[in-house]
Structure 1
Amino acid sequence: MKKSIINLFFLLPMFILSACGQNNKNQNTTTNTTTMENVISKPENPYYSNTDTKKLNVPNSEWKKILSPDLYAVAREADTERAFTGTMWKSETKGTYYCAACGNKLFKSDQKFVSSCGWPSFFEQENKESITFKPDNSYGMRRTEANCGRCDAHLGHLFDDGPEPTGKRYCMNAISLDFVPEGLTSTGNTGNLETIVLGGGCFWCVEAVYENLDGVVSAVSGYAGGTVENPSYEAVCTGRTGAAEVIEITYDKTKTNLDEIFQVFFTVHDPTTLNRQGADVGTQYRSAIFYKNENEKKAAESLIKELNEKVFSGKIVTTIEPLEKFYKAESYHQGYYQNNKNQPYCQMVIQPKLEKFEKVFKERLKKKQ
């Protein structure tokens, strides 16, 4: 595979990504990383389990240290995300939905329906203990609040306007849910998933590219490499946190591999511009590979050495950094291209990059459903 990577750079021009122009601050929703049944990796959360159903009694002070700010606001403070944001509300992909705070199994996809309300909606819960209810009379309304049966996290509300056979509508915040596609749990191939965290400038563009590569299960925008815990987008933009805009890529190694992930990476951004991609300038836009083990580190070092010798004449400035922690970015950054295709930036910047990517990797694109 490595030879094909080198050949690619001799035959094709690089794709240089332009500036993000990221100034959306006011949205408040999220989509979730795709995870695996019984082996969801959330090392920062010692209470997370897909199999343990024992009731948790954890104080909010502890949850605040563990959960991301936007998840904490919904799960522990009963905040609500904006409707029609993210893709989960209209997704019909088969799989399982879990509590994003504690990992408790909540719904199966065959209990879901696409509702006009703009939030993920279900007509039935996984079992009678998975979700609990209590009256909610806030904001001058009479509603029924739905909470996780294991950790009491706020999930959303229950209404009586759903479809048959129950007539119920479980109206859920997407940020409260983790989703696992059906094939990952039913075929027993969860051990085939790997993750890698890459920084290539604007995470909107890089995420949009990897979402289309066959074998990539999820591409999540976030931050890594900094000194501030759970940094906000505004803080990262100052360049003072040390964090970079990154993508956490989860891929099925039976369908793709690290070599191909790197091949796409060095094709869709410029690894020779220090702390800059297009008009985006600052350490937060640096070209970086964040490794979690020696295999990833050695693979990155070997490829960069060969590219410097044969393609870039020693000009690659991509850093190779240990992954201390990945922080998921604010919800409005997730799936940005998919949710904003008509925006000028998406049409003028991201769409041309995608078209070039699709031309080069046309045999490796996900099949349209």
Structure 2
Amino acid sequence: MGEEINEESAMKPLTKLLILLISILISWGGWKALNALFFQETVSFFNPKSEVNWRRVNRTREEWKKLLTPEQFRVMFEKGTEPAYSGRYNDFWEKGYYTCAACRSVLFTSEDKYDHGTGWPSFKAPFSEANLEYARDYSLGLSRLEVRCSSCGAHLGHLFFDGPAPTGRHYCINSVALNFIPQAEAEGLIPERATFAGGCFWGLEHKFSQVEGVIGTAVGFSGGWVRQPSYEQVCSGKTGHAESIEIVYDPRKITYEELIRKFFAFHDPTQLNRQGPDIGTQYRSVIFYRNEEQRQIAQRIKEEVESSGAFGQRKIFTEIVPFDEFFRAEEYHQKYYLKNKK
């Protein structure tokens, strides 16, 4: 009788441990399901990286280990995190540009930096969506959006949605993953940006990505009134957005004027609210200018093209409007032709 009681007592801790493990697994699975339910817009917006490699800078881990400091390598290529309030750029407010510490791609500007109070450099927007990529991160028992440099793949930090208006975004970035170029020293070193719309963004992005001097591209939506719209919403024609591409280019290799001329060559600007079989206002032809110089260049070249007879007597319907905001499209649209080998 006593032996039976002892054996039963010995089984109780094992049973409790088994029940505890099962409970943890169920809780973990349920927690991830709740995250997917309540954050569907970000799950669909940022998908895991594609197997297709389109990086501008490709090096092995061993090569990066030789080029970077031990702390930089730990954070950028082992997905580490520097201690809060320890980084050089946390309480740093000089005007200029923040670049990737590994490949020098321009990532953020001082204009978009703010104090979030978390102990890491915080930004409300990137220099360009073309220079970043995103992936889901479930480490530490949390569902977070990892931010990477799209040029070299280095881990930079995470994106949260508790930031200031108008974007609502909070890019929480490790100082050690950044370098800084003061505004006074930036002339000739910082790439420029251009935003166009001209039919399906898959084809337009692919054509511009092949142009020498173009550093990076991203597809998305501009010109509407709905924030962070989905592709399906834009296709409904009820958001006001046009399928657009954001281009980062080196002005030492190609000028804005040359990009505008290629823009008119890459699509038919005489088609109103369509390109070929694609019909709708989301396929309209638009140049989104970022400053007065870009506006003047775009207007002059539009008039030149129209009067040249390149499109016969047909009217050019390309709109020239001020740039407001660019919303990155879902990840499966990015580099679509490259991913699908078209």
TM range (shorter): 0.5 to 0.7
CA contact (8 A) 2:274 2:283 kept: yes
> Identity rate of aligned residues, in percent?
34
Match of 1:323 in 2: 323
Summarize deviations over 1:271-297 as a string: whole Å, max 9, x none. Answer: 111111111000000011011211111
Distance 2:180 2:210 in 1: 18
CA contact (8 A) 1:198 1:288 kept: yes
Match of 1:156 in 2: 137
Summarize deviations over 1:89-111 as a string: whole Å, max 9, x none. Answer: 996269xxxxxxxxxxxx99997
Distance 1:92 1:246 in 2: 28
Alignment of structure 1 residues 140-219 onto 2, 5 Å: 150=120, 156=137, 176-179=147-150, 191-219=189-217
Match of 1:82 in 2: 48
> Could you list the runs of 5+ residues in structure 2 that have no partner in the other structure?
1-37, 61-67, 87-117, 123-134, 153-177
Change (3 A) 1:191 1:151: closer
Corresponding letter in the other structure for 1:292: R
Bigger relative contact order, structure 1 or 2 (CA pairs below 8 A, ≥6 apart): 1
Change (3 A) 1:314 1:297: farther
Summarize deviations over 1:226-273 as a string: whole Å, max 9, x none. Answer: 111111100000111110000011111111111110121111111111
Alignment of structure 1 residues 54-69 onto 2, 5 Å: 69=41
Q: How many residues of Structure 1 are paired with residues of Structure 2 in the alignment?
A: 225
The correspondence for 1:122, drawn from 77, 81, 89, is 77
TM-score w.r.t. the length of structure 1 is 0.50
Distance 1:335 1:249 in 2: 13
> How far did 1:149 drift?
7.0
Distance 1:193 1:260 in 2: 15
Summarize deviations over 1:200-226 as a string: whole Å, max 9, x none. Answer: 111111111111111111111010011
CA contact (8 A) 1:87 1:335 kept: no
Change (3 A) 1:300 1:80: closer
Change (3 A) 1:68 1:205: farther
Change (3 A) 1:212 1:183: farther
Distance 2:180 2:340 in 1: 29
Summarize deviations over 1:147-173 as a string: whole Å, max 9, x none. Answer: x97389x973669xxxxxxxxxxxx98
Match of 1:10 in 2: none
Distance 1:158 1:192 in 2: 34
Match of 1:9 in 2: none
CA contact (8 A) 2:234 2:240 kept: yes
Match of 2:58 in 1: 92
Distance 1:294 1:237 in 2: 31
> How far did 1:336 drift?
1.0
SS in structure 1 of the partner of residue 202 of structure 2: helix
Summarize deviations over 1:105-155 as a string: whole Å, max 9, x none. Answer: xx9999779xxxxxxx92364755599xxxxxxxxxxxxxxxx97389x97
Summarize deviations over 1:300-324 as a string: whole Å, max 9, x none. Answer: 1111111111133352111111112
Distance 1:252 1:173 in 2: 33
Corresponding letter in the other structure for 2:120: R
Match of 1:14 in 2: none
The correspondence for 2:223, drawn from 222, 225, 230, is 225
Change (3 A) 1:274 1:314: same
Match of 2:17 in 1: none
Q: Which has the higher helix share?
A: 2
Match of 1:308 in 2: 306
Corresponding letter in the other structure for 2:58: E
CA contact (8 A) 1:111 1:124 kept: no
Corresponding letter in the other structure for 2:229: P
Tell whether 2:295 aligns with 1:297: yes
Match of 2:273 in 1: 275
Distance 2:298 2:315 in 1: 15
Distance 1:275 1:231 in 2: 19
Distance 2:296 2:40 in 1: 31
TM-score w.r.t. the length of structure 2 is 0.54
Corresponding letter in the other structure for 2:290: K
Corresponding letter in the other structure for 1:156: D
Corresponding letter in the other structure for 1:324: D
Change (3 A) 1:262 1:80: closer
Change (3 A) 1:333 1:124: closer
> Could you list the runs of 5+ residues in structure 1 that have no partner in the other structure?
1-63, 95-106, 114-120, 132-147, 160-171, 342-346, 348-369
Root-mean-square deviation over aligned CA pairs: 4.5
Corresponding letter in the other structure for 2:322: P
Change (3 A) 1:327 1:158: closer
Summarize deviations over 1:38-82 as a string: whole Å, max 9, x none. Answer: xxxxxxxxxxxxxxxxxxxxxxxxxx9xx9942xx59xxxx9833
CA contact (8 A) 1:192 1:254 kept: no
CA contact (8 A) 1:184 1:190 kept: no
SS in structure 2 of the partner of residue 92 of structure 1: coil
